[in-house]
Amino acid sequence: MSAEPRLGRRAACLGVGLAALGLSLPASARGRTPIGGRISLRVPWPLGSIDPHRGDDVAAALFGEALFDTLYARDESGAFVPSLAEDEPEAETNGVRVTLRAGLRTGRGRSLDVGDVVASIARARGASARAWLADIPTPKIEGRSLLFATKDAARVVRALASPLVAIVKGDFTPDAPEGTGPFKLASKGDPIVFAKNPLSARGPAFLDDVAVRSSPNLEASLRAFESGQDDLGWLGSGLHEPRPGSRGFDFGHVGWAVLFAGRDAAPWDAAGAPQKICDSIPPSRLSGLGLGAPWRTEADDGWGGPPVTLVVRDDAAWLGELAKTIAATISRPGHEVVVKPISPGELFARRAAKSFGLLLDVVRPFAPGTIGALVALATADDPQKAIELLKRPPKGELPVRTLTRTLRLGVVGEVRAQGGKMGDTALAASAGLGIDWGASSKARR
């Protein structure tokens, strides 16, 4: 999608400051990005908590970049640049030194220091980033610096740039997420509101706030957008017909819908078997769910194991609809698949114990590209296997459906940030994955 030239958030904030002094930026540096306004939307996902360190947290996949920063980030070209880090890493005789920027504060006004950074890395390692950080030593604190006992500065930067290694306060809680991003959580409930963070490390958002409701079904967002209540329609431009003047947006995938096989699926609890099931599902059966580009369908043998239950979390409307369609598609006489919605807590416990037949959940990529996908998917299967695969990663870019042929899980399709918007709403693409909410804006009326 083409977009008008924009002024970066840092430069825009500088322009506002100069204007207050009666000065102005040079004409060539002036941007046309409006400041202020609100965007409202609904998503068929739970929003009660946001945990950037969990690989199955869709709220973090969609809105994590609005709240949190990493030590390093990707720019528009895909290159790594300092974010919360003061500069490029310094190679020393005894390791790699990363220095934290001075004066960092969270959206609540609390200072963020190197102790919080070490705690964040440890928290990420203890959550979903165990394999991703396997070859990254626990850093030693020296003033505002972190000393990593390794010679591989490039690997340190790549690891620290992952959204699953976001930096938070040491007492972080997902129920009240707090970071240094362009927004801060202003209120919870219906809707939750992300308000502009004036203390943001990389400059506050252009928008005043983003109001998000959790949609109980797939139709609610489209209905609200079609009737003019919302600025964005998730997965489309209207329930009955496109809203007049609306345009489509598609900012790519932020994760994958993944089918797991458990102990009750034997002998289908084997490497490659779940992906074979997923590849047998015709893409046309799942149209309307925004699963990405169609895939080549393999032999449509469906489910060949014993009658089994497909468990799915009961608070995610999109996953629930997908689970029902999958079950109806792969069931065969004598080999029925029945959907059972369960609480997120029970689903997490069953996944850990493999106490299920089939299970549908989400996996977030650790970074764009094959390596970020491979480690994320392998970690969801077996973190130790992910560590081994990271030592000998495949060469070149490979489709995720190829990566899962050695795993006991299968990719059904993508979780994408796509839908419809009005012309006065300008969404910005993240240099990493999904939408850059901080750089998005809304025209003044």
Judge if 334 and 389 occupy the same domain: yes
CA atoms within 13 A on the CB side of 87: 6
CA-wise closest residue to 286 among 318, 310, 264, 238: 318
Residue 398: inside a domain, yes or no?
yes
Query: What string of pLDDT tens digits covers the 445 residues of the chain?
Result: 334 334 455 444 434 333 333 333 333 333 568 899 999 999 999 999 999 999 999 999 999 999 999 999 999 888 999 999 999 999 999 999 999 999 999 999 999 999 999 999 999 999 999 999 999 999 999 999 999 999 999 999 999 999 999 999 999 999 999 999 999 999 888 899 999 999 999 999 999 999 999 999 999 999 999 999 999 999 999 888 999 999 999 999 999 999 999 999 988 899 999 999 999 999 999 988 999 999 999 877 789 889 999 999 999 999 999 999 999 999 999 999 999 999 999 999 999 999 999 999 999 999 999 999 999 999 999 999 999 988 888 888 899 999 999 999 999 999 999 999 999 999 999 988 999 999 999 997 6
Please give the torsion angle defined by the CA atoms of residues 355, 348, 292 and 406, in that order, rounded to the nearest 10 degrees: -50
Judge if 378 and 233 occupy the same domain: no
Judge if 304 and 390 occupy the same domain: yes
Q: Domain containing 365: what range?
A: 253-416
Judge if 206 and 307 occupy the same domain: no
Residue 145 sits in a domain of what CATH number? 3.90.76.10
- For 245-293, write each residue's pLDDT tens digit: 999 999 999 999 999 999 999 888 999 999 999 999 999 999 889 999 9
Judge if 207 and 306 occupy the same domain: no
Distance CA 232, CA 225 (A): 6
- For 6-15, write each residue's pLDDT tens digit: 445 544 443 4
Residue 40: inside a domain, yes or no?
yes
Judge if 233 and 327 occupy the same domain: no
What the block records as the tokens of 127 is 């959550």
Judge if 30 and 89 occupy the same domain: no
Q: By the 8 A CB rule, do 291 and 382 touch? A: no
**Residue 180 backbone zone (phi > 0: left; psi -120 to 50: alpha; other: beta):** alpha
- Cβ contacts of 155 within 8 Å, gap of 6 or more: 135, 136
pTM here?
0.91
Domain tally for the chain? 3
Q: By the 8 A CB rule, do 377 and 367 touch? A: no
Distance CA 340, CA 355 (A): 13
Distance CA 329, CA 338 (A): 11
Residue 226: inside a domain, yes or no?
yes
Distance CA 196, CA 85 (A): 22
